[in-house]
């Protein structure tokens, strides 16, 4: 693979750098227009019934304890309540900048594997029968936008997120290390790159990113001091890394050329002591969303849509350790200044035993891909036929839920 092929096909810069203290891979791409899309993958299977509690269902009390409204849960509409971990987002709900979709899932059924579930979620496919490498549905979205460009010079994560993997080049970065060079080495690298405009541009942008953490790339001390600086950067990266840092870094990109950002929030596999774990994790998600809102200018936030989705829901009943096991139907969150929030959208299936999927899981009544598809339709004008053929093959879009203003 030659230099240019390496750049154009993988959109990665051939140097070890990352300037922002993050640990979760994040992928970005630039598209035409002013609307922004943030897709957050909630890895581990978020419990939709614990997040958005259907306390108004008469059969809920036979499955779980009725919530203490105002304490552990906050009422939304007289039927659904949200876990107190999301309480910081209540002002967004009141401003109709936050909403939920309930009883949804991908077409994945019954095997309940995290790996397969996430693969289907990010590939946007109905199943895994095709085998081999699969591209991601956000990458296919970029292929439908003729003026989409690449944010070159960024490397986030050891591998690009599967949701944006594919033929269309995107930017990615792994910020667990910083770039530190002697002035001589920096000048040599610039001289090597200058005869290739594409590599020269990529390297220049990479240097700008590496400088953005406050530590200059060029380091005039000796080798021992340079190695000490690198170790210090890596240590600070691990201490300050996390989802909030990712959100802040995403804000910087979205305030610039990036229009599509995807990253993960992990830790939703609540097999035990869910009462503590779920609320704590939802608090992290709330802070991530608020970091996006607070970091973006009001006009950019007003054109931003955030979709948070998970590979599957969890069992309707608690297990013997106070947790829930891998299930089927779950919930999706949407937020942003561009959305029509203040509502929980659901074709609610009911919680009687005969209404549960395999008598154990919340029955999904809508495909989560359909809501993503309609969001893409309203954001970027992608036609329904293109959505059902190329982006989410075979999806039944149903009626447009009008997620966006």
Between the alpha carbon of residue 2 and those of residues 10, 17, 210, the distances in Å are 12, 20, 24
In a domain, 98, yes or no: yes
- Residue 226 inside a domain? The answer is no
pLDDT (tens digit, 9 = 90+) per residue, 199-211? 666 666 566 555 5
Q: To the nearest whole number, what is the mean pLDDT of the chain?
A: 82
pLDDT of residue 300: 97
pLDDT score, position 68: 82
Q: Does residue 185 form part of some domain?
A: no
Q: DSSP letters of 36-75?
A: EEEEEEEET---HHHHEE-TTSTTGGGTSPPP-BTTTEEE
Confidence bin at 326 (pLDDT 50/70/90)? very high
More confident residue, 177 or 116: 116
* Residue 204 within a domain: no
pTM over 0.85: no
Contact 50, 329 (CB under 8 A): no
Q: Residue 219 falls within a domain, yes or no?
A: no
Say if CB 360 and CB 105 are below 8 A apart: no
Question: Does residue 202 belong to any structural domain of this protein?
Answer: no
201 lies in some domain:
no
Give the percent of the chain with pLDDT over 90: 55
Structure-model confidence comparison of residues 153 and 238, the more confident one = 238
Confidence grade of residue 166 (pLDDT, cut at 50, 70, 90): confident
Assign 101 a pLDDT band (cuts: 50, 70, 90).
very high
Phi and psi at residue 231, in whole multiples of 5°? Answer: -60, -40
Report the distance separating Cα 370 and Cα 239, nearest Å. Answer: 39
94 pLDDT above the threshold of 90: yes
The mean per-residue pLDDT over the stretch 308-320 comes to 97
> Which range (98-112, 194-208, 344-358, 379-393) has the least confidence?
194-208
Let me know if residue 128 belongs to a domain: yes
Query: Are 29 and 164 a contacting pair, CB within 8 Å?
Result: yes
More confident residue, 302 or 69: 302
pLDDT tier at 247 (50, 70, 90 boundaries)?
confident
Task: Report residue 64 as tokens.
Answer: 């779980």
Q: What is the structure's pLDDT at 66?
A: 84
Concatenating the DSSP letter of every residue in 68-84 gives -BTTTEEESSSS-EEEG
CATH number, domain at 121? 3.40.720
Whole-angstrom Cα distance, residue 300 to residue 343? 23
Confidence check: pLDDT of 380 > 80: yes
- Pair of tokens at residue 182: 């002697």
In angstroms, what CA-CA distances link 378 with 344, 354, 387, 392?
Answer: 19, 37, 12, 16
Mean pLDDT of 219-241: 50
User: Residue 125 and residue 108: Cα distance in Å, rounded?
Assistant: 9
Length, in residues, of the chain: 405
- Domain count along the chain: 1
64 Cβ partners below 8 Å, 6+ apart?
Answer: 49, 316, 317, 318
What's the domain range around 366? 3-176+241-391
Q: Mean pLDDT lowest for which of 143-157, 184-198, 281-295?
A: 143-157
Higher pLDDT, 192 or 136: 136
What per-residue confidence (pLDDT) applies to 4? 42
If you count DSSP H runs as helices and E runs as strands, how many of each does the chain have, helices first?
13, 12
What is the rounded CA–CA span in Å between residue 75 and residue 71?
A: 10
């Amino acid at each position: 693979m030659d230099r240019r092929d390496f750049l154009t096909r993988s959109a990665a810069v051939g140097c070890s750098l990352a300037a922002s203290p993050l640990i979760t891979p994040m992928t970005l791409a630039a598209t035409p227009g002013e609307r922004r899309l943030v897709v957050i993958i909630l890895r581990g299977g978020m419990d939709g019934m614990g997040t958005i509690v259907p306390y108004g269902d008469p059969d809920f009390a036979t499955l779980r304890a009725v919530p203490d409204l105002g304490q552990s849960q906050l009422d939304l509409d007289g039927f659904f309540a949200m876990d107190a971990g999301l309480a910081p987002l209540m002002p967004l709900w009141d401003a109709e900048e936050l909403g939920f979709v309930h009883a949804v899932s991908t077409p994945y059924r019954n095997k309940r594997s995290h790996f397969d579930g996430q693969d289907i979620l990010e590939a946007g496919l109905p199943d895994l029968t095709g085998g081999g490498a699969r591209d991601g549905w956000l990458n296919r979205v970029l292929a439908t936008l003729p003026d989409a460009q690449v944010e070159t010079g960024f490397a986030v994560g050891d591998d690009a997120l599967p949701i944006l993997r594919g033929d269309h080049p995107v930017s990615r970065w792994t910020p667990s290390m910083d770039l530190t060079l002697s002035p001589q080495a920096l000048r040599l690298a610039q001289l090597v790159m200058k005869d290739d405009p594409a590599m020269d541009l990529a390297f220049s942008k990479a240097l700008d990113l590496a400088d953005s953490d406050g530590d200059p790339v060029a380091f005039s001390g000796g080798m021992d001091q340079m190695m000490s600086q690198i170790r210090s950067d890596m240590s600070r990266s691990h201490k300050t890394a996390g989802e909030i840092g990712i959100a802040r870094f995403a804000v910087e990109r979205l305030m610039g050329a990036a229009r599509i950002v995807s990253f993960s929030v992990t830790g939703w596999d609540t097999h035990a002591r869910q009462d503590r774990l779920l609320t704590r994790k939802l608090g992290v998600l709330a802070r991530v969303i608020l970091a996006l809102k607070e970091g973006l200018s009001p006009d950019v936030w007003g054109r931003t849509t955030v979709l948070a989705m998970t590979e599957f829901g969890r069992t309707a009943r608690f297990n013997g350790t106070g947790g829930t096991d891998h299930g089927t139907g779950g919930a999706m969150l949407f937020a942003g200044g561009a959305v029509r929030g203040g509502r929980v959208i659901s074709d609610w299936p009911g919680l009687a035993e005969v209404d549960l999927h395999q008598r154990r899981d919340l029955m999904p009544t809508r495909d989560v891909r359909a809501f993503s598809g309609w969001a893409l339709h309203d954001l970027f004008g992608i036609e329904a036929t293109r959505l059902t053929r190329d982006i989410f093959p075979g999806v039944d879009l149903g009626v447009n839920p009008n997620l966006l203003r």
